[in-house]
Amino acid sequence: MEKAIQILLQFGRLSFEIIPYFLVGTMAGALLKSWLPFSIVERYLRPGVKSIVAVSLFGGVVPVCSCSMVPLAQTMKEKGAALGAIVAFLIVAPVLSPVTVFLTWGWLGPGFTVARIVAAFAGALVVGTVMQRVGVYPAANGPGAAPTDCTETDSCKETDACGCEKVPAPEADLKSAVRLYWSNMVMILGDLWGYLLIGIAVSAVLSVLVPPELIPSLVGTGVRAHLVAAVVGVPIYVCSGEEVPIAKALLDINLTPGATFTFLLSSTGICLPTILMASKFLGRKNAALYALFWFILAVGAGLLFSAVA
């Protein structure tokens, strides 16, 4: 009974931490969905290295966490973004932001900071390129499928790659604009809300049932330390910025710098809520590949950091 109460309390704490960021991401996604000109999507989000670089740079400056980035990614996908660009955004966005970069510099020093930046952008370029080549959107929403953001003010014709040719609508008043924005926000929430709650619940159970003191005793050293750090870091939710003092504490109990760096990436870059929500619009196979690549990236970056640190 006591454990059940602790799980409920942890669920409430995690919800309190995660949901505000998720709502901010949802509101930003609704803005993109409602008013992002399709010409921008055509120019920057089509398959190719240019789109991966552009979206990675955007992900590096937008202040989102691993959960609040998902509504933005879903909106990009609905606007016709290539799979590689979406995955690149999902890799960079939760790991880099002006706040997390300054926190990392202040708590862990320039070495961790530079390594974090390099790992995020290099990982996005490599994984985004690989996913663009081997991954395919689910058949119903595959590459070239019509975007799903057409409104009642649009006229759709099968005349372009997206299957939807925008016809200028009469100038909408403020009430119509607000109605469109609200409709898109509710749609995004409806698509992802349940997956978010399931992921929070699983994270709460893991947080309560896995004792924190168990982690250092199991980690060990060498490759095993990096694998365990990634296994521990990937499933849980750590709010963007929160991972920095945790990493400092791990260093203080003599966890190796490389394994600490692996935890730094894995804990903030991806979590169960992210994986579950991403599977909703990327498809289960793509979401599984995305999670696997993140795991490999975190371990590989930690091993490389150990070798050069």
Domains of the chain, residue spans: 2-308
pLDDT of residue 229: 80
C-alpha angle 113-119-124 in degrees, rounded to nearest 5: 135
Do 129 and 49 contact (CB within 8 A), yes or no? yes
In the predicted model, residues of the chain with pLDDT beneath 70 are 18, 21-22, 25-26, 28-29, 32-33, 36-42, 63-68, 98-99, 139-172, 188, 191-192, 195-196, 198-199, 202-203, 206-207, 210-221, 236-242, 245, 252-253
CA dist 17 and 20 (Å) reads: 7
pLDDT of residue 169: 46
pLDDT of residue 234: 73
pLDDT of residue 304: 93
Digit-coded pLDDT (tens) for 113-124: 999 999 999 999
CA distances from 83 to 91, 142, 191, 265, 269 (A): 12, 9, 19, 22, 18
Do 59 and 98 contact (CB within 8 A), yes or no? no
pLDDT of residue 18: 65
pLDDT of residue 115: 94
pLDDT of residue 155: 40
pLDDT of residue 64: 66
pLDDT of residue 32: 66
CA dist 86 and 70 (Å) reads: 10
CA dist 163 and 58 (Å) reads: 27
Total-model pTM:
0.66
Structure tokens at 117: 């930046």
